[in-house]
């Protein structure tokens, strides 16, 4: 057996276990707010759009790299929870905009400490977290480009 086929040397396994570990940290924190991790990601995008036009469902999907089959039920649950409103465009019925309602905006302030809690759980300092995020972003972008060849 070559050294390349040892589990501890596999980047994919390190990413997989790190992802699971992060999800385990997020789960109880987000549960306090009645959210799942994918719902939290949607809210992060919507909070960023404060000064912009509300994103469409397809725009959210592209930004989060989620298909509509995953995103639509997630948005429905956020709407039932009273955090977002979905509105069909009068100009084009196929376009559905997603907006935060006041409860969704208020949740932003209540969740302001979540990133700090997650950073603390990693044991990394701020500079290392930026390097890690940028490295993972570069890996994702490169893999997408590789798949398109």
pLDDT for 91: 83
In the predicted model, what is the mean pLDDT of residues 24-36?
97
pLDDT for 81: 97
Q: 15 with 23: CB under 8 angstroms?
A: no
pLDDT for 52: 80
Q: What is the CA angle 125-45-130, rounded to 5?
A: 20
pLDDT for 78: 98
Q: 82 with 103: CB under 8 angstroms?
A: yes
In tens, the pLDDT along 45-67 reads 999 987 788 899 999 999 999 99
82: left (phi over 0), alpha (psi -120 to 50) or beta: left
Q: Which pLDDT band holds residue 127 (cuts at 50, 70, 90)? A: very high
Q: Which pLDDT band holds residue 1 (cuts at 50, 70, 90)? A: low
Q: With CA atoms as reference, report the closest residue to 110 among 53, 47, 55.
A: 47
In the predicted model, what is the mean pLDDT of residues 114-125?
96
How much is the mean pLDDT over the chain?
94
Does this model's pTM top 0.85?
A: yes
In the predicted model, what is the mean pLDDT of residues 131-136?
97
pLDDT for 33: 97
């Amino acid at each position: 057996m070559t050294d390349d086929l040892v589990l501890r040397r596999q980047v994919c396994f390190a990413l997989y276990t790190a992802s699971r570990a992060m999800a385990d940290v997020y789960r109880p924190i987000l549960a306090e707010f009645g959210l799942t991790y994918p719902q939290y990601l949607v809210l992060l995008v919507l909070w960023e759009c404060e000064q912009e036009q509300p994103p469409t469902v397809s725009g959210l999907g592209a930004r989060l790299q989620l298909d509509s089959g995953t995103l639509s039920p997630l948005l429905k649950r956020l709407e039932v929870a009273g955090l977002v409103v979905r509105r069909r465009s009068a100009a084009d019925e196929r376009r559905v905009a997603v907006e935060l309602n006041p409860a969704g905006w208020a949740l932003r302030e209540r969740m302001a400490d979540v990133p700090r809690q997650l950073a603390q759980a990693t044991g990394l300092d701020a500079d290392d977290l930026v390097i890690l995020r940028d490295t993972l972003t570069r890996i994702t972008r490169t893999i997408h480009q590789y798949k398109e060849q």
